[in-house]
Amino acid sequence: MLRNQALTFAAAVALGVGLSAQAAPQNPSGQQPSQQQPSSQQQQAASSPNQTVASADVSDAELEQFAKSINRVAEINEKLQTGLESAANDEARQKLRQDANEEMAAAVRSNGMDVQRYNAISRSLDKDAELNQRVVAKRRELMAAQQPQQPGASQPDSGSPSR
C-alpha cells in the first residue's frame, strides 16, 4: 500500500514540477543551475521529457536529494490543492499553479537537484520497484531523523549507573 501511495504521489508531483522546468531560470550556457555536474547518463535523462532512469543510475546522494525534494514538493502541492478549491476563477487558479510550480522547482534546486533529473527519477518510480523501495526507505529515514524522541523512549539515563 505504501508503495502505491508513493507511486501515485510521485507521479502527481512530477507532473507539477515538469511544467516549471520549462520556465525555470537558466544560466548563460543554457543549462539549469546545479550544485554538481551531471553525468552523461543524467544529461541524457534530462534531455528527454519522458526519460526514466534505473535504480543503479541513481546515486545515494541523488537519492537523498530526491527524498528531501519530494517531501517539500508534497507540502507545496497540498497547499496548491487547498488554494485551487477556494480560487475565484480560472485566472486565479492559473496564477496559483504557476506560483506553485516555481516554488516546487526552487525546492528541488535548493536540495541540489536539477528539475529534469528529479522528474526522470519520479517517472521511474512506477517502473523500477528497487528504485521505489530505495526512495521509500530514504524518506522514512529522513522523517525518523526529523522527529524528536518520545519522552521515556530508550534514551540513556545519565543519572543512573550503567550495569
For residue range 22-61, what is the model confidence (pLDDT) as tens digits? 434 333 333 333 334 444 444 444 445 678 899 999 999 9
Show the domain range for 128. 2-24+58-145
**Number of structural domains in the chain:** 1
Q: Is residue 124 part of a domain?
A: yes
Note the pTM of the prediction, 2 decimals.
Answer: 0.65
CA distances 63 to 47, 55, 142, 144, Å, are 20, 9, 11, 16
Q: Is residue 119 part of a domain?
A: yes
Tens digit of pLDDT for each residue in 112-126? 999 999 999 999 999
Q: What's residue 51's pLDDT?
A: 84
Tens digit of pLDDT for each residue in 96-114? 999 999 999 999 999 999 9
